Amino acid sequence: MAAHQEKKLAEERKHQNMQNGSKPSQGQWGRAWEVDWFSLASILFLLMFAPLIVYYFIMSCAQYQCSLTDPLLDLLAGNKHLSDIWNRTPMLTPRAAAIYSLWVAFQVFLYMAIPDFCHKFLPGYVGGVQEGAVTPAGAVNKYEINGLQAWIITHVLWFANASFFHFFSPTIIFDNWIPLLWCANILGYAVSTFAMIKGYFFPTNAKDCKFTGNFFYDYMMGIEFNPRIGKWFDFKLFFNGRPGIVAWTLINLSFAAKQRELYGEVTNSMILVNVLQGIYVVDFFWNEAWYLKTIDICHDHFGWYLGWGDCVWLPYLYTLQGLYLVYHPVQLSTAHALGVLLLGLLGYYIFRATNHQKDLFRRTDGNCRIWGQRPRYIECSYTSVDGAKHYSKLLTSGFWGWARHFNYTGDLMGSLAYCLACGFQHILPYFYIIYMAILLTHRCGRDEHRCGSKYGKDWRRYTAAVPYRLLPGLF
Ligand code: NDP
């Protein structure tokens, strides 16, 4: 009921704004209230084609040695029909369903049942109960941060099984890769649909719901801001981190195990991909509390984009390099391997240092040192839906003085390193850098649009002080 009232209120607010001839600004930052044709077309395209894109990539590896062009050429030349490809595709199996259900249930258990103990003995690690950012409705949610612990327990069990118990083969993920894809899709669609229904009928915080009136947009971008079941099961935190990101490193380990089973050795490229992506994943969990202040948690509503994306897109497409290396065991020259390692580590350093500077600056409200000096910043203000005025600061020194999204630049360098580890024979492992470049460039625009509406003229003062987005002097 509360959600219906909020929907009505939103419509009235939109109507008033239209009558005033003004664009919604105060207290209405966050995702869109109205949907233009381009957004709608993009959303329909993604809803229809994103699952096919994932299938196409995975099928290309399984049936065409990771060639992206051969399936198309085969179809166009009439050598194969769609039905031939489909008939060779493994279906959902009871074994895959059991593995996947156990996996998700285990991650729910780790998330809900074991409060964080890592912060009690790991110096510098921030875990346990933490607060998120102020939501557009002015609420502040509490989160139990225990992702690092879940990652450690899961991996200890994985290695214990691989070394001592041998309950299952470490190649289990690779061996069930396509049947597991169907399971991930079922969960992704189920959770997105549930989130939509929940947004209408029993939202966690009705004031933080957004209804555009467009069914497809609301399904994709979400209605509820922070859907929860009970006090602690937070959809965004759970689905973004686990099962997808905990699985990322296990998936890579399974691919490495498969390489060894097939060829008797693990190549240096596979080790590089495992190590560089492993650093990224551990970093994510080490900084899970910081993650509460990133766009996914602070600004995105929970819909198909996050629900399906976390269950399917992330574990299947972010791990393409490891999958590719099972089919093409590339052994890199020492110079090539070192180059990739250095690029990956430098990218990671920039990514982490930039994010750390902003986090430190915001946590201490500017009472800190950035590169040994007092930070420079721009004071800004904004208003939340309840009409309350809030104050904030935008950092303009350190890496944040070089470009407005230098953290993305570091991320892109790291992403390129994973791809370069796979050599130059096929385009498929380069999907990740292409995708990340599109995602993060689009994110720059999305974030800047949102910050522009949130901070108004203060944001314009900031962009004048830091004119470049990603590459100082260029873009
Ligand atoms: P940011 O961490 O850059 O957060 C952007 C927000 O930070 C803005 O909305 C604004 O929020 C605040 N902000 C912007 N400029 C400043 C400033 N100068 N000083 C202080 N605060 C500022 O973006 P993301 O959340 O998108 O990304 C976080 C990290 O996650 C990035 O490193 C990114 O590369 C990575 N990432 C990785 C993805 C992947 O799939 N691998 C996907 C997405 C992100 P406010 O309203 O608080 O002012």
Atom 45 of ligand 1: nearest residue by CA position: 451
In one letter, which amino acid is 197?
A: I
Residue 381 three-state SS? strand
pLDDT of residue 91: 96
| Closest alpha carbon to 251 in 170, 331, 197 | 170
| 413 within ligand 1 shell (Cβ under 6 A) | no
pLDDT of residue 22: 36
| 226 within ligand 1 shell (Cβ under 6 A) | no
Task: State the DSSP H helix or E strand holding residue 390, giving kind and residue range, or none if neither.
Answer: strand 389-395
Q: What is the distance between the alpha carbons of residues 98 and 83, in angstroms, rounded to a whole number?
A: 28
Contact predicate 149/118, CB 8 Å: yes
CA 363 to chain centre: 23
- In percent, how much of the chain has pLDDT > 70? 93
**Ligand 1 atom closest to Cα of residue 392:** 48
Q: What is the distance between the alpha carbons of residues 418 and 324, in angstroms, rounded to a whole number?
A: 12
| 291 within ligand 1 shell (Cβ under 6 A) | no
Task: State the DSSP H helix or E strand holding residue 351, giving kind and residue range, or none if neither.
Answer: helix 334-363
| 249 within ligand 1 shell (Cβ under 6 A) | no
pLDDT of residue 250: 98
pLDDT of residue 187: 97
DSSP annotation of 428 reads: G
91 C-alpha to center of ligand 1: Å? 39
Residue 228 three-state SS? strand
In one letter, which amino acid is 105?
A: A
Contact predicate 307/195, CB 8 Å: yes
pLDDT of residue 33: 59
In the numeric block, which tokens belong to residue 360?
């430190």
Sequence-separated (6 or more) residues with CB below 8 Å from residue 266: 256, 259, 260
443 C-alpha to center of ligand 1: Å? 9
Strands 233-234 and 228-229: antiparallel
pLDDT of residue 32: 59
Atom 47 of ligand 1: nearest residue by CA position: 293
In the numeric block, which tokens belong to residue 65?
């040695």
Q: What is the distance between the alpha carbons of residues 320 and 346, in angstroms, rounded to a whole number?
A: 22
Q: What is the distance between the alpha carbons of residues 111 and 242, in angstroms, rounded to a whole number?
A: 8
Per-block mean pLDDT, blocks of 10 residues, the chain (475 long): 45 39 42 72 90 97 96 95 96 97 97 95 93 83 94 98 96 98 97 96 88 90 92 93 93 98 97 98 93 80 95 97 97 97 97 93 91 93 80 93 96 97 95 93 88 90 93 83
pTM of full prediction above 0.85: yes
pLDDT of residue 387: 77
Using the structure block, give the residue that is written with the tokens 């994709």.
Answer: 220
